[in-house]
Chains A and B, each alone.
Chain A
């Protein structure tokens, strides 16, 4: 267990203040129950998501570096935790660029100085995902002890998406053996939900793409990609797709509706953030976990199976 994960700087990001509100809420609730503390990064800014890099990648590196600079220099934090895959990915990418590319360092230094804050230096903080936070800050054994409402009988397809594992060079801590996370077959979410009592189905599309980058600008492609994921999960026998990214989550929910309305393909699988599922297992009420905000409406399913 990593004791430094007990109290981390928390970077929710823009999505968790909008469409991913339920993810924010459930992450905070689960942290409370498990005794993990969160200090929100003061006066944070957007990391650049998947869009700013297409205008200029170095601007994205700067945006992400500012968040880490505040965490390190103004809050004295050693660890920044981002539950959103986009934020997590971008902070990792900025860390990689700043430790490998001189031009990136110069651009970030120049903009940081003009903006009037300290330049972030590579290595000042460690960026982790909410999965690392719970898996390595608490662990499965402790989690098992705290489960009050086992998810036994609930079949789950774990969906990690693109940005959590790709490209691998920005995640030097992954693929290191000894139970570390894998970039080809990620398992942290599977491990946590198994500890909560759920049955993980054999799901081949864990790291497939949902088309999140073009969720609105190329909806037809996104709908096809999402439908593929939903149908594969149903074929594998899943009741719920567990998600760990607000873009994937809302993409799956939106295009589930669009596939039904535009292509006439109806799917019944529900989408839930993994923190919502863990929260249910830990005995937190679904309302506190904002389960009612999920558009795919998993509340009925939870009630009918006796989990809520």
Chain B
């Protein structure tokens, strides 16, 4: 496997001039390449406190940058830019613009908990990744990721009925993320499953799309959970200094 090369100087900061003379010295061409000065002026000191206020991010302050999380990371092995250690560093330093360079991949954490297993300081990096992805969405830096849409669809169903019905979640998820349900591999999968499916099971699965499985006497639990979730949402929005409808996730529970 090739070693991942990371250029410390980003290509856009390398400046070469075709025709430039400074103080009578010709500095044109490749041999006189300049590096644009790197001055960080946009520290956002609030980031660490804001991410700490979101579920999962509570223990980010314990990190001592050993890198065990990145070293053990499942996603890092697929995409070397996925670097939890570095993001924790940026968050604690308040280097917002650097963090935002990776805003579109942070949500890809697969929650395998290898980092949490390896972490010697109990930072719970898996939780920090979720809190960071949540923070990016609440602050409006990224739209809701597919993962968040899936989580919310799932949670809505559990809160509403106490149970889930897989087919319904998949259909709603594909509709909400505007993906076609009829993709070649999905059709193939459905056919392989249907090929040997007993009639009775097929009937029951069809029935459960009409009569949703539910836990009996769930309505009180549903209301209690909804109250709690709404309260937490208000607290989190206050901690992030958001106004009434800014970055609103719009969680609504169906009956």
Contact = CB atoms under 8 A, between A and B. Distances in A.
Contacts of B127: 57
A176 interface: no
Majority SS of interface residues in chain A?
helix
Given A217-B146, A261-B184, A63 B158 contact: yes
B27 interface: no
Contact of A214 (B108, B188, B217): B108
A57 B56 CA distance: 8
Q: For the complex of A and B, list the 7 residue pairs with the smallest distance between their C-beta atoms, beginning with the closest.
A: A209-B112, A114-B224, A115-B221, A217-B146, A292-B196, A51-B154, A45-B162
A240 interface: no
Interface string A26-55: 000000000000000001111011111111
20 contacts: A18-B166, A45-B221, A48-B158, A52-B158, A55-B251, A57-B55, A59-B225, A66-B221, A110-B224, A114-B220, A114-B223, A162-B112, A167-B113, A167-B117, A209-B74, A209-B110, A213-B147, A214-B108, A253-B192, A254-B185
B154 A216 contact: no
B192 to A, nearest CB: 4
Interface in B188-222: 188-189, 192-193, 196-198, 201, 205, 208, 213, 215-218, 220-221
Contacts of A56: 55, 228-229, 232
B121 interface: no
A6 interface: no
Contacts of B150: 51, 216-217
A173 interface: no
Given A43-B215, A51-B150, A166 B155 contact: no
A105 interface: no
A166 B114 contact: yes
B149 interface: yes
A214 B110 contact: yes
Interface string A269-308: 0000000000000000000000011011101000000000
B166 to A, nearest CB: 4
Contacts of A46: 158, 162-164
Contacts of A129: none
B81 interface: no
A218 interface: yes
Query: Which interface class (under 10, 10 to 19, 20 to 34, 35 or more) fits A?
Result: 35 or more
Contacts of B197: 293
Given A257-B188, A293-B193, 18 more contacts: A14-B164, A18-B208, A45-B163, A49-B154, A55-B151, A115-B224, A162-B111, A165-B117, A167-B116, A209-B74, A211-B110, A217-B149, A218-B146, A221-B75, A221-B110, A225-B78, A253-B189, A293-B198
Contacts of B96: none
B152 interface: yes
A232 to B, nearest CB: 13
Contacts of A257: 185, 188-189, 192
A231 to B, nearest CB: 14
Given A15-B166, A116-B220, A297-B192, A51 B151 contact: yes
Interface string B215-252: 11110110111011100100000000000000000010
Contacts of B167: 18
B130 interface: yes
A299 B110 CA distance: 32
A59 B220 contact: no
Contact of A221 (B56, B78, B149, B165): B78
Contacts of A111: 221, 224-225, 228
Contacts of A216: 146, 150, 170, 173-174
A295 B155 contact: no
Interface in A114-136: 114-116
A296 B189 CA distance: 9
B61 interface: no
Nearest to B119: A167
A126 B147 CA distance: 32
A52 B112 CA distance: 16
B186 to A, nearest CB: 8
Contacts of B196: 292-293, 297, 299
B148 interface: yes
A49 B165 CA distance: 13
